[in-house]
């Protein structure tokens, strides 16, 4: 491990220029490529971070000329970058774009890709698999058979990485057969968010928090990722997946790991990932008998969000009329370590909730004894709110004396608006993650054993739900989920942030 370079969690040192690369983008015409990946690469180009000589090669089955592909990419970048799109810089970026028609399942199609890639010596080669995961095995097998994966090639994988521990293992074995772990970049785009890395900065860059970051000082932690959107055009996919697999197994557990891990010795990828893995392994399993007490699942019915009417989940296109898929999950998680014994971590995520918000709320213990007038309970505890979206800010609630004769305490917020404090545009998650992969920094990517440990914690919850005849509890679109979610946390004497 000592041989591992010490990258900053946010990427390689700025002094080092990123290498020229060949990025082969399987699923190059898909929604993710058009909405996120190509705009992120164009932003890197605008920032001068795409080395001359780099190539981005879109791959899909449909026949497109390179010119037609460039036109698709330009339209997507214009649409998704808005005012940040710079027409004058486009031609140089367009010159890096290419397209190859290839059916991922046809071995014969890979020879042409091999010829296109050729032998470009020092150029870093990346394969981004932005296709349905059932194509991963074919892609990996055919790439290897065609001799295209070099010892330094990198393979980037989008979620979902399986639907349970066995299927994730199969994917990991497939990819592991053609590349070593240091070549595999498993994406959880939450880890690419600036505020998530700020969490690392907050915890490990300041002496202030570490002594408080434990039982005896922290009472409980909440992690909420709420969406206003329903399933949109992904009904069929979502109905097979549900919120537990789509959100909790990856995004919420990754946030929990960053919050709860021990300080790593360095910011090197494996130092950080070793500590995250320990958290996942210390999560107390939720056995069948506990599942109904410690978890709540819900499914939205029709309702109103803002002023807009929203249809019920069961009326969404692609969703089975009798579906029992959950669109909302709340879980009480417990971490069996000295640091966290007795400190509950409440996780909550759902669709068709009243707000689009992702936030972490750390509630500290109350002072042990009040010297001030008024009921003790009127002195709310300190609270740290780390908001990841829509805006990125960190707020610490403290108590201060309100002006006047009487010694009355009132909560006030110390608020750090990261957008205001640091002028300059924050990197988008995919912009960061693509840059890190190009530069060989694995810190913000999930290691195989992390993915496996996360599924091992999730699978028994899923299995317990499958045995429960009642199915998910209904909630109105535009509400904060089923009442049982409030009861879950109220049983411990707490309330969800914003519900007080």
Instruction: Name the phi and psi angles at 328, rounded to 5.
Output: -145, 140
Q: Which of 9, 11, 98, 133 binds ligand NAP (CB under 6 A)?
A: 133
How far, rounded to the nearest angstrom, does the alpha carbon of residue 295 sit from its chain's CA centroid? 21
> Of 455, 77, 156, 480, nearest to 300 (Cα)?
480
Q: Which of these ranges, 57-65, 265-273, 310-318, 460-468, lies near ligand NAP under the rule CB under 6 A?
A: 57-65
List helix spans (H) across 262-366. Answer: 269-282, 288-294
Query: Does residue 149 contact residue 174 with C-beta atoms inside 8 Å?
Result: no
Residues 6+ positions from 126 with CB-CB distance below 8 Å: 21, 22, 23, 24, 153, 154, 155, 156, 437, 438
Instruction: Output the CA–CA distances (angstroms, integers) from residue 10 to 39, 166, 244, 486, in the order listed.
Output: 19, 32, 28, 36
Q: Which of these ranges, 10-18, 28-36, 112-120, 169-177, lies near ligand NAP under the rule CB under 6 A?
A: 28-36
Shortest Cβ distance from residue 132 to ligand NAP (Å)? Answer: 5
For 41, the enclosing helix (H) or strand (E) is helix 38-46
Q: Which residue number, 27 or 440, has a Cβ lying nearer to ligand NAP?
A: 27
Residue 251 is a catalytic residue: yes
Q: Which residue number, 232 or 492, has a Cβ lying nearer to ligand NAP?
A: 232
Number of H helices, E strands in the chain: 16, 17
Q: Which residue number, 157 or 221, has a Cβ lying nearer to ligand NAP?
A: 157
> Is 60 among the residues that bind ligand NAP (CB under 6 A)?
yes
Q: Which of 81, 123, 135, 418 binds ligand NAP (CB under 6 A)?
A: 135
Angle at 276 between CA 464 and CA 258, to 5 degrees: 95
> Is 45 among the residues that bind ligand NAP (CB under 6 A)?
no
7, 45, 220, 251: which one is catalytic?
251
Shortest Cβ distance from residue 324 to ligand NAP (Å)? Answer: 21
Shortest Cβ distance from residue 34 to ligand NAP (Å)? Answer: 8
> Is 193 among the residues that bind ligand NAP (CB under 6 A)?
no
Q: CB nearest ligand NAP: which residue?
A: 30
Q: Which of 4, 19, 32, 80 binds ligand NAP (CB under 6 A)?
A: 32
> Is 27 among the residues that bind ligand NAP (CB under 6 A)?
yes
Q: Which residue number, 139 or 260, has a Cβ lying nearer to ligand NAP?
A: 139
Q: Which residue number, 444 or 464, has a Cβ lying nearer to ligand NAP?
A: 444
Strand arrangement of the beta sheet that strand 154-157 belongs to: 97-101, 55-60, 21-26, 124-129, 154-157, 184-186
Q: Which residue number, 159 or 186, has a Cβ lying nearer to ligand NAP?
A: 159
According to CB under 6 A, which residues from 68 to 127 bind ligand NAP? Answer: 102-105
Q: Which of these ranges, 31-39, 88-96, 402-410, 446-454, lies near ligand NAP under the rule CB under 6 A?
A: 31-39
> Is 30 among the residues that bind ligand NAP (CB under 6 A)?
yes
Q: Which of 54, 131, 183, 479 binds ligand NAP (CB under 6 A)?
A: 131
Q: What burial class does residue 139 get, using C-beta atoms within 10 Å of its C-beta: 0-12 exposed, 13-18 middle, 19+ buried?
A: buried
> Is 137 among the residues that bind ligand NAP (CB under 6 A)?
no
Instruction: Name the phi and psi angles at 474, rounded to 5.
Output: -70, 150
Task: Compute the Cα dihedral for 481, 482, 486, 491 and give only its sign.
Answer: negative
Helix (H, G, I), strand (E, B) or coil at 154: strand
Shortest Cβ distance from residue 104 to ligand NAP (Å)? Answer: 3
> Is 230 among the residues that bind ligand NAP (CB under 6 A)?
no
For 487, the enclosing helix (H) or strand (E) is helix 483-490
> Is 31 among the residues that bind ligand NAP (CB under 6 A)?
yes
How far is residue 225's CA from residue 359's CA, in Å, rounded to a whole number?
A: 7
The residues that touch ligand NAP, with contacts defined as CB under 6 A, are 27-33, 59-62, 102-105, 130-133, 135, 158-160
Catalytic residues: 251
């Amino acid at each position: 491990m000592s041989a591992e370079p010490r990258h900053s969690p946010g990427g390689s040192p700025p002094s080092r220029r990123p290498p020229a690369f060949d990025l082969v983008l399987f699923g190059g015409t898909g929604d993710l490529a058009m909405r996120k990946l190509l705009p992120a690469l164009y932003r890197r180009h605008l920032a001068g971070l795409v080395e001359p000589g780099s190539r981005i090669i879109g791959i899909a089955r449909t026949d497109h000329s390179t010119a037609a592909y460039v036109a698709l990419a330009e339209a997507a970048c214009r649409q998704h970058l808005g005012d940040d799109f710079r027409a004058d810089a486009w031609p140089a970026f367009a010159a890096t774009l290419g397209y190859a028609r290839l059916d991922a399942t046809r071995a014969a199609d890979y020879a042409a890709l091999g010829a296109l890639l050729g032998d470009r010596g020092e150029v870093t080669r990346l394969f981004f698999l932005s296709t349905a995961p059932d194509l991963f095995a074919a892609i990996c097998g055919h790439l290897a058979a065609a001799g295209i994966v070099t010892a330094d090639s990198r393979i980037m994988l989008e979620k979902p990485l399986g639907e349970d521990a066995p299927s994730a293992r199969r994917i990991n074995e497939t990819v592991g057969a053609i590349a070593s772990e240091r070549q595999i970049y498993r994406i959880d785009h939450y880890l690419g968010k600036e505020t998530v890395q700020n969490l690392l900065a907050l915890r490990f860059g300041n002496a202030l928090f570490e002594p408080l970051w434990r039982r005896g000082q922290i009472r409980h932690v909440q992690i909420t990722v709420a969406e206003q959107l329903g399933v949109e055009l992904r009904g069929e996919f979502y109905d097979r997946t549900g919120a537990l697999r789509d959100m909790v197994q990856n995004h919420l557990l990754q946030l929990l790991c960053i919050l709860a891990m021990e300080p790593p010795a360095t910011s090197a990828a494996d130092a950080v990932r070793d500590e995250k893995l320990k958290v996942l392994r210390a999560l107390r399993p939720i056995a069948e008998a506990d599942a109904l007490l410690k978890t709540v699942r819900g499914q939205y019915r029709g309702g109103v969000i803002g002023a807009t009417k929203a249809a019920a989940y069961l009326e969404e296109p692609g969703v089975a009329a009798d579906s029992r898929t959950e669109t909302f999950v709340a879980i009480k998680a417990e971490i069996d370590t000295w640091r966290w014994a007795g400190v509950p971590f409440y996780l909550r995520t759902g669709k068709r909730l009243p707000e689009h918000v992702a936030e972490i709320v750390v509630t500290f213990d109350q002072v042990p004894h009040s010297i001030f007038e008024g009921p003790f309970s009127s002195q709310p505890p300190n609270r740290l709110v780390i908001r990841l979206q829509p805006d990125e800010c960190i707020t610490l609630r403290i108590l201060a004396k309100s002006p006047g004769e009487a010694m009355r305490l009132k909560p006030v917020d110390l608020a750090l608006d990261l957008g205001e404090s640091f002028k300059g545009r924050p990197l988008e998650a995919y912009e960061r993650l693509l840059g890190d992969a190009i530069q060989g920094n694995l810190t913000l990517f999930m290691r195989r054993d992390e993915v496996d440990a996360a599924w091992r914690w999730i699978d028994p919850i899923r299995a317990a739900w499958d045995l429960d005849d009642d199915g998910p509890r209904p909630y109105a679109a535009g509400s904060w989920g089923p009442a049982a979610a409030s009861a879950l946390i109220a049983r411990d004497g707490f309330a969800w942030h914003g519900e007080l």
